[in-house]
Amino acid sequence: MKLTNAFDISSSALTAQRFRMDVISSNIANAETTRGEYVDGQWVPYRRKLVVMEPTRTQSFDSILQQQLDQHTGSGVKVSRVIEDQSPFKLAYNPMHPDADVNGYVRLPNVDVAKEMIDMISATRSYEANVTALNASKSMFMKALEIGK
Mean pLDDT is lowest, of 44-48, 51-55, 118-122, 142-146, for 142-146
29 touches 48 (CB < 8 A): no
Look at residue 39 in the predicted model and tell me its pLDDT: 84
What is the largest distance, in Å, between two alpha-carbon atoms of the chain? 80
Listed residue (28, 17, 22, 19) closest to 114, CA to CA: 28
Q: What percent of the chain has pLDDT above 90?
A: 63
pLDDT higher than 80, residue 57:
no
Crossing angle for the helix pair 113-147 and 5-29, to the nearest 10 degrees? 160
- Distances in whole angstroms, Cα of residue 73 to Cα of each of 59, 65, 147: 13, 11, 24
46 touches 109 (CB < 8 A): yes
Mean pLDDT is lowest, of 13-27, 36-50, 113-127, for 36-50
| pLDDT, greater one: 15 or 144 | 15
Radius of gyration of the chain (CA): 22
On average, the pLDDT of the chain sits at: 88
User: In angstroms, rounded to a whole number, what is the distance separating the alpha carbons of residues 86 and 108?
Assistant: 13
pLDDT higher than 90, residue 75:
no
Kindly state the average pLDDT of the residues 49-55. 93
